[in-house]
Every structure is written in C-alpha cells, then in structure tokens.
C-alpha cells in the first residue's frame, strides 16, 4: 500500500500527516524522455493505468487511516502533477477534494504540480471545495537559478514560470509551497548551500512554505551514475542544519520543512556514520515544531571535516568519498 502516516507540521502546529501516492500514469516529462536528472519516482507508476474511479476509491480507502485522529494534513503525490489533466481528469480532482472536505479533522491539504500546469481555474475550483482548510500547491522549483535548473537538474522550468504559477495559486485562494533541492550535481557542498540560500531569498515573496529536499540517489538516474563514480556525494547533514537555521532566522514567518529521506545511508544525506541518527532526528524535530532550539548545540568530531570542505570549497571529485 502506498499510503502511510507520520508526525508532521500541520498548518503550523504539531499533528499527523497522511501521505498518499496516487497510482496515476506519472509525470509527462518522464514519459517523453525528459525526466529530471535526480528523479525516478515515475518509474514506479503503474504499468497498466488505473481507471479514474479506482483512483478515487483508493483515496477513500486511504482516508480510513485518519478516522478518529486529530489535526491531520493530507499530502497527495502522483509521481507527477495533480493538476495534469492527463493524470487526473478535472472531475476526478473535484471528487477527491469532496472526499477530503467531508473530514473535519483534516486541517491541511497539499498537492503537487509542475509550474507550467498550474491554471487559476483548476486551483480555484479545488480551493472553493475546501474553503476552511489550509490548502497548499507545492511546486518543484528546485533552484531559483535557471542555469542550475537546466544543467544540473534538466527541470524544463524557469524561475519566471514559478512566479507566474505562484500568482495564479494565490489569486485562487490557495498557498504556495516551494520544493528546493539541496545540492544539485556539479556544485560543491559550499555552492549547494549558497544556491539554496539564494533561491530562498529570491523565492520568498512568492512562497508560504519551503520544503528543503535533500538529494538522495535514486535508481537509474544521472545522479546515480555520478555517485557510482565517486564524483557526487549527497549533502552532509551539517549542511541541512546550516540551511534550516539560516532560513528560519532570516524568514521566521515562513514554514521551513525538511524530511531528509534516506538520512544516514550512503545514498542519502549523511555525516560520518556515527552521528547521523542524532542529527537527522534533530532535523525532523525542527521541521515538525519549527523551533530552532533543536538545531542548536549539535556537534560531533566530523564537523571539523565538513567545516574544512565548506571553507575551501572542495569539489566532490577531489575527495576520497565514503
């Protein structure tokens, strides 16, 4: 089953999130051979397509998991775009939102879409169904730097397209979440941190929540090929801590979220191996509570090496990786 719950930040307070991966056909960019370099999520989209009715029933079944729970967020992923008519018909989207509207305990709803697929009418008709709930449309901006988006990610979107989509979403009465990618390929650890800070600076007027997505190495991707040759190392958890602390202090009114997927493993963000669990837990605790105290006073002997790499701007392929 591809739905599950976990503790999370729900419209600003601690609550429970229900994650649902909808079995649509997945991202159209992937289907036309233009996948983002780090992403293989659409590879797990169903081989034979589900009918729209089956998808709606699937959501209904997933929602049984939150019956009797308080303060719930529902986060819907499709391995593509919720607002892509090729994945979900407009009528299907509305039916799903009507199901969500029946649950008083749902306080927050998040869907995802590529920016070029965001249209005012499509967001407005959904926002109207869940008027009393915190409704966010998440967009994979990844970086506000168009060159990095092109060369290191193959995103096929520009910052201008994100700004346009943000305007449509807000005009329709919903909020904007921006996904940012920490450490695209070809950047040093230091430049990865610099890129994400610059992206937050540029995007903050158009964004309500930032989600700092830390690269993890997915199967069959360009990221995996570089990683196998020791030419790319997923970010240090120290870098995640640095970015989150800076972002929350600089923009305290914004929600700054991060769930470091695969933390502590070679394919995920990691430190030395000894301190990974403690640091990853601190990151998750901060994300759920938005309190920077969980990120203060973290230390381990490997931090000196990270400091050196940042100070000198060392590139991954200059390192003996581990």
Residues that bind Zn ion (CB under 5 A): 271-272, 274-275, 300, 302
Torsion-angle region of residue 248: left (phi > 0), alpha (psi -120 to 50) or beta?
alpha
Closer by beta carbon to Zn ion, 225 or else 300: 300
Closer by beta carbon to Zn ion, 121 or else 274: 274
Half-sphere exposure of residue 210: CA atoms within 13 angstroms, side-chain side: 31
Report residue 261 as tokens. 């997927």
CA distance 4 to 77: 12
Closer by beta carbon to Zn ion, 272 or else 319: 272
Q: How far is the CB of 295 from Zn ion (least distance, A)?
A: 15
Q: How far is the CB of 49 from Zn ion (least distance, A)?
A: 46
CA distance 58 to 21: 10
Q: How far is the CB of 240 from Zn ion (least distance, A)?
A: 13
Q: How far is the CB of 302 from Zn ion (least distance, A)?
A: 3
Q: How far is the CB of 168 from Zn ion (least distance, A)?
A: 44
Closer by beta carbon to Zn ion, 274 or else 291: 274
Closer by beta carbon to Zn ion, 174 or else 282: 282
Dihedral through CA 294, CA 110, CA 76, CA 31, nearest 10? -110
Enumerate residues 6+ apart whose C-beta is below 8 A from 248.
254, 256, 286, 290, 292
């Amino acid at each position: 089953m591809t739905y599950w719950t976990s503790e999370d930040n729900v419209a600003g307070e601690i609550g429970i999130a229900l994650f649902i991966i909808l079995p649509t056909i997945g991202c159209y960019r992937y289907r036309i051979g233009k996948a983002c370099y780090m992403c293989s999520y659409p590879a797990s989209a169903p081989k034979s397509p589900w009918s729209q009715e089956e998808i709606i029933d699937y959501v209904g079944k997933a929602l049984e998991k939150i019956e009797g729970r308080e303060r719930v967020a529902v986060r819907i992923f499709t391995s593509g775009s919720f607002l892509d008519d090729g994945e979900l018909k407009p009528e299907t989207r509305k039916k799903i939102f009507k199901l969500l509207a029946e649950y008083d305990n749902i306080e927050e709803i998040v869907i995802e879409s590529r920016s070029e697929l965001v249209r005012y009418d499509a967001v407005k008709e959904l926002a109207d169904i869940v008027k009393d709930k915190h409704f966010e449309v998440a967009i994979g901006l990844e970086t506000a730097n168009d060159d990095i988006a092109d060369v290191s990610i193959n995103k096929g979107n520009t910052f201008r397209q994100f700004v346009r989509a943000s305007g449509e979403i807000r005009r329709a009465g919903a909020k904007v979440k921006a996904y940012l990618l920490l450490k695209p390929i070809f950047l040093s650890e230091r430049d990865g941190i610099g890129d994400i800070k610059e992206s937050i600076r540029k995007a903050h007027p158009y964004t309500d929540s930032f989600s700092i997505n830390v690269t993890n190495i997915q199967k069959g991707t360009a990221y995996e090929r570089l990683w196998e040759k020791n030419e790319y190392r997923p970010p240090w958890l120290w870098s995640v801590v640095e970015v989150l602390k800076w972002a929350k202090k600089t923009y305290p009114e914004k929600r700054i979220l991060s769930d470091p997927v695969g933390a502590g493993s070679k394919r995920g963000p990691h430190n030395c191996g000894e301190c990974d669990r403690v640091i990853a837990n601190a990151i998750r605790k901060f994300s759920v509570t938005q309190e920077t105290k969980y990120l203060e006073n973290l230390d381990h002997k490997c931090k000196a090496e990270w400091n050196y790499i940042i100070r000198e701007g060392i590139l991954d392929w200059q390192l003996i990786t581990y």
